[in-house]
Chains A and B, each alone.
Chain A
Amino acid sequence: MADVLVYVLHYEGAFNKNSLGAVSEGAARAAEIGGEAHAVVVGGADLTDELCSTLGAYGATKVFRAQGPEGLAQPVVDVMDKVISEHGHSYALFGGGLLGFEIGAGLAARKQAGVTMEVTAVKADGGKLIAERPILGDSQISVSRYQGDLGIIIGRINAFEVRRGDGEAEVVDIDVEYSAFTGQAEMISRGEQRGADVDIEGADILVAGGRGLGKAEGFELCKELAGAFNNAAVAATRAVVDAGWYPYAAQIGQTGKTVSPKLYLAAGISGAIQHKVGMQSSENIVAINKDKNAPIFEFADLGIVGDLNKVLPKLTEAIKAKRGS
Chain B
Amino acid sequence: MKICVLVKEVPDAAVEKRINPSTGRMDRSGEKNLNPYDTHAIEAAMQLREGGEVEVDEIVAVTMGPESAVRALHKAVSLGADRSLHLSDDALAGSDVAATGYALAKALEKESPDLVLLGQQSDDGECYTIGAVVADHLKMPSLTQVIKLDIEDGALRLERQAEYGYDTVKVRFPAVISVGDAINEPRYPSLKAIMGAKKKPLENVTAGEIGIDLSLVGAEGSRVQCGEFHAPPAKAAGQIIEDEDTNETVEKIVAWLDERKLI
Contacts and interface: CB of A to CB of B under 8 A. Distances in A.
Interface stretch (A33-41, A59-67, A161-169, A298-306): A298-306
A87 interface: no
B4 to A, nearest CB: 17
Contacts of A319: 254, 257, 263
Contact of B223 (A11, A140, A147, A185): A147
Contacts of B198: none
Contacts of B226: 116, 133, 142-144
Contact of B262 (A116, A284, A314, A315): A284
Interface string A73-114: 110010000000000000000000111011111101110111
B21 to A, nearest CB: 11
Nearest to A301: B238
Interface string B103-140: 00100000000000000100000111111111111011
Interface stretch (B47-55, B80-88, B175-183): B175-183
Interface string A121-158: 00000000000011111111111111110010010000
A116 B224 contact: yes
A11 B141 CA distance: 22
Interface string A1-16: 0000000010100001
Interface residues of B, number: 80
Contact of B230 (A104, A105, A115, A140): A140
A73 B182 contact: no
Query: Could you tell me the dominant secondary structure of chain A's interface residues?
Result: mixed
Interface stretch (B61-69, B162-170, B189-197, B203-211): B162-170
B140 A184 contact: yes
Interface residues of A, number: 91
A94 B256 CA distance: 37
B161 interface: yes
Interface stretch (B28-36, B71-79, B94-102): B94-102
Contacts of A138: 232
Contacts, number: 267
B145 interface: yes
B143 interface: yes
A186 interface: yes
Nearest to A179: B139
B120 A255 contact: yes
Contacts of B228: 142-143
Contact of A114 (B171, B222, B235): B222
Interface string A300-325: 11111111001100110011001100
A180 B105 CA distance: 18
Interface stretch (A21-29, A43-51, A189-197, A213-221): A189-197
A286 interface: yes
Contacts of A57: none
A194 B227 contact: no
Contacts of B260: 263, 284
Nearest to A98: B162
23 contacts: A11-B163, A98-B163, A99-B162, A105-B129, A113-B98, A115-B98, A115-B224, A142-B227, A145-B225, A184-B173, A185-B142, A185-B175, A187-B167, A188-B169, A190-B164, A190-B165, A191-B167, A229-B262, A263-B260, A263-B262, A297-B240, A307-B243, A315-B254
Given A109-B102, A114-B225, A133-B226, 11 more contacts: A74-B135, A112-B98, A115-B96, A140-B229, A146-B223, A229-B263, A248-B161, A262-B262, A311-B246, A311-B253, A319-B263
Interface of B: 17-19, 96-98, 101-102, 105, 120, 126-137, 139-145, 157, 160-173, 175, 180-182, 216, 222-232, 235, 238-243, 246-247, 249-251, 253-254, 256-258, 260, 262-263
Interface of A: 9, 11, 16, 71-74, 77, 97-99, 101-106, 108-110, 112-118, 133-148, 151, 154, 179-182, 184-194, 205, 229, 242, 248-249, 255, 262-263, 284-286, 292, 297-307, 310-311, 314-315, 318-319, 322-323
